[in-house]
Amino acid sequence: MRTVAVVGDSRGIGAALREQLLDQGVRVVGVSRTGVQRVGGEHPNYQSLVFDAVAHPCDLSGFVDALDGLVYCPGTIKLKPLRGLKREQFLEDFEVNVLGAVQTLQANHKLLQAGAANGAKPGVVLFSTVAVQTGMAYHASIAAAKGAVEGLVRSLAAEWAPEVRVNAVAPSLTDTSLAASLLGSDAKREAAAERHPLNKVLTAEEVASAAAYLVSEHAAGITGQVLHVDAGMGGVR
């Protein structure tokens, strides 16, 4: 049975990914600050760990012998004009999106290598944003942090090859609690949908499906890539 760690699985894309992987027969080790009480009750292939992976390195070696995949989901979305951005927000965005991922990967690299030694092609998946490649007003802080995530993905893909694959998913605005303030009314939701060529706001399940693919054996030939799941926003006019 394959084992995948999902860091940040208590809500949003991480929660959707957790359920998709469990449905696929994957063992999931979930990490979140609050823990998870599944709607469907306990699952024999799921373990929920309460841990703040941004504040401290999350070493999973006490719970698993090897990992076939690791997905880091924590993120931020605070949009402001540059003149209103303080140093503290840039640092917070960088800490959550980049440094949290870095220390999680450092702490669990040996487990991913052990997965490779067992014959798997372990996959790491991080999250970027469409705003890195498509300039968007008020995204300076988050786009800067996620741009660093994309650089990290490509660097580690080279460094960790051929044993471990490293990729990212770059969504546009997704209907999760993190984006609640941006989708808090019918007018806001309609305006957000109209900015996308597919005239829709992404669901957490749609974005999670891309991560589930990249971490799966079906993507064994893919590394160093940033997969855009953005309803056409990044590439279609």
Strand partners, 127: 169
Q: Which 3 state secondary structure label does DSSP give 63? A: coil
In this predicted structure, what is the pLDDT of residue 183? 75
For residue 68, the number of C-alpha atoms closer than 13 Å in the C-beta half-sphere is 20
In order of their start, the domains of the chain are 3-229 (3.40.50.720)
Report in angstroms the alpha-carbon separations of 187 from 96, 176, 179.
Answer: 30, 17, 15
In this predicted structure, what is the pLDDT of residue 201? 87
In this predicted structure, what is the pLDDT of residue 197? 84
CA 207 to chain centre: 9
Rounded CA Rg of the chain: 17
In this predicted structure, what is the pLDDT of residue 150? 98
Task: Give the chain's count of helices (H) and strands (E).
Answer: 6, 9
Strand partners, 46: 28
The rounded average pLDDT for each run of 10 residues, N- to C-terminus, in the chain (237 residues) is 97 97 98 91 94 97 98 93 95 98 98 96 97 93 97 98 98 82 77 83 95 97 96 83
What's the whole-model pTM score?
0.94
The token pair that represents 20 in the structure block: 């998709």
In this predicted structure, what is the pLDDT of residue 143? 96
- DSSP conformation class of 131: G
CA nearest 29: which of 10, 53, 48?
A: 48
- In the chain, the largest separation of any two C-alpha atoms, in whole Å, equals 52
